[in-house]
Chain A
């Protein structure tokens, strides 16, 4: 399929366009994507007719959005079955149904390219020796893997001489890791893993790893660390103290919009790349909140062409800290994630409530 070119939006670095200029390029593409999914996905067309009957999309905030949870109950796809290249699944726990995301080769490529543009902006163009804080089997089945696997596969592109730091029993291979670190002690390395796994295997135990020239990227959410009362600040402190890494970046993303990630800068703010954006919505009026006011995060991305996931209402709370004015110098919106919306507690005669 010939579709829009996101190159225009990733020409220089993904953070160089001021918001107004970015929106000029971003909005027409969002509109085109909306029309595309309307043509290709009958369910999406039906939902738009019902929930957005009179909409004209004059601004980014007017673009229709789907509840992200809908991908758990509906198989929404804008491609014929024979074009399915990969099915991504969210890491649904036993109690919840996972989301199912249908990718064709093109969307997968766009995801890879977009992620590359972002990572290059943070790591430079050269592939660096990489440590993954996970075990290798997470990405065993390349046709159907979960969010965790997808995140790792995405990151692998930017590394070389990759070392998986956990063995199959989910134990840290300290000996192997120490040897590997010794080998690359004179190079810059990159460490990647899920926030919780890094904490559990590298920060919580009583150990010290000598990484002096490393950059750490981590993702996956703070829910489990909140239970352990570990804040982002504390996390960074521990990363510095136990791993010797001073450059530590959290990033926000979701399996429903793989490739479209929001990376945290030195100021602790998440930045929108050119091909993605967020809108923070008021939880009652659902209008856009002004800068500084916490609301529900709507995530927009130009990457999904094979499924109607370019505009999603998440279940995360966030706040925009500023537009074009982050002290780090990156343009566009910068925001923080405050947490997840508390789960619904439903009452009734029945003791089995399906959520």
Chain B
């Protein structure tokens, strides 16, 4: 079932989906050759897109390029090797039918989670909202084209896209067949859909709104030479600006660790270099976004009792706060950084909460971060990544191993 279903009412939906639901969703073992072949083909098509020229313009979707890279056979095999699909007395098997509910537009993150469930051999039903961005449409078309190839018919048969609005009855009916339901935030959406029952044995994965931040060792940063500092800041730029600072794992707060004179010097250099990188990359936000951000910033400056605000351009403002408070998690993205100075790394642990996902770092050893993680002990922050990797998708996401979440473990004694 490769076409996109667009049901008008529940009866139409039922009629269209009934033949789908009786299919065998247990036909593929995890990492079956056909599944890997499909990913390889999808990867190739996405790479081709990178060089495609449309309307005289080279299409630029850097996140699709990362996806293409991630889907390469070699990389997937590496993932497979790190996962013990079978041991002497256990075996990983699919869960069955996975129902994916992405945010309003199908973004690349959803494809990653979908591929994880597909690699584990599951059937798929994906809800698409009526509004799709240009990039989403492009991505969707490529997926549909590859699925339409004859050799992938067995996979296409257990893959279905349904496009509908916010009809809860549709979600409820599809949920009644799912073995796993995956909901990507907003938190309001999760709250709403959670109330819809699942089969007793089915499970649910949720990816709520998250807050992420960065820590920098001021001394280590100043010890790097000028070229290095530029590289570090460029990595930070990628982490932060790729999705207009709206990705859950993009840093919004930057915690500077060190003595205050060093922090002052290092942060000034950092922000000026960041402004230079923004200009070099030609990154710009729209005027409407700027006006929205400006008003947000004035409001936040009052709520957070800001010590200082520095605006280097429409694309970069820094709001200096005296202490870490929960209110920092209310943030507009779009090139606003909250700046906090702390004397040591341990200082952030009191602030960490279950809303927090990724800590991007520079200048700290794994030892130090492991100690920090032990101190936090699950209160929040499930990823610690060096600058430049905040947006890199990993099969362990939000502290959940997606491959094992999308499978069942059978024991044979």
Contacts and interface: CB of A to CB of B under 8 A. Distances in A.
Given A47-B301, A284-B314, A350 B103 contact: yes
B285 to A, nearest CB: 8
B294 interface: yes
Interface stretch (A65-73, A123-131, A148-156, A231-239): A65-73
B171 interface: no
Contacts of B298: 47, 51, 66-67, 70, 74
A296 B287 contact: yes
B302 interface: yes
B189 interface: yes
Interface stretch (B153-161, B180-188, B228-236, B254-262): B180-188
A74 B302 contact: yes
Interface residues of A, number: 31
Contact of B246 (A47, A283, A347, A355): A347
Contacts of A74: 298-299, 302
User: Chain B CB within 10 Å — which of A50, A346, A349 has the most?
Assistant: A349
Majority-rule SS of A interface residues: loop
Interface string A318-355: 00000000000000000000000111111111111001
Given A51-B298, A352-B189, A69 B292 contact: yes
User: Chain B CB within 10 Å — which of A51, A67, A313, A343 has the most?
Assistant: A67
A23 interface: no
Contact of A349 (B247, B287, B289, B294): B247
A313 B287 CA distance: 13
A344 B287 CA distance: 8
B306 interface: yes
B330 to A, nearest CB: 9
B188 A352 contact: yes
Given A283-B287, A347-B246, A355 B302 contact: no
B184 A349 contact: yes
Given A50-B308, A346-B244, A350-B103, A69 B295 contact: yes
B11 to A, nearest CB: 27
A288 interface: no
A348 B247 contact: yes
B189 A351 contact: yes
Interface in B280-335: 286-295, 298-299, 301-302, 306, 308-309, 313-314, 333-334
A224 interface: no
A342 B289 CA distance: 9
A69 B286 CA distance: 17
A231 B16 CA distance: 47
A182 B306 CA distance: 64
Contact of B288 (A313, A343, A352): A343
Interface string B155-193: 000000000000000000000000000001111110000
Which 10 residue pairs are nearest across A and B when measured between Cβ atoms?
Answer: A348-B246, A69-B295, A351-B103, A352-B186, A67-B295, A351-B104, A344-B289, A350-B186, A344-B288, A344-B292
20 contacts: A47-B298, A50-B301, A50-B306, A50-B309, A313-B291, A313-B294, A341-B287, A342-B286, A342-B288, A343-B288, A344-B293, A345-B289, A347-B243, A347-B244, A348-B247, A349-B210, A350-B103, A350-B187, A351-B189, A352-B187
Interface of B: 103-105, 107, 109, 129, 133, 184-189, 207, 209-210, 243-244, 246-248, 286-295, 298-299, 301-302, 306, 308-309, 313-314, 333-334
Interface of A: 43, 46-47, 50-51, 66-70, 72-74, 283-284, 296, 313, 315, 341-352, 355
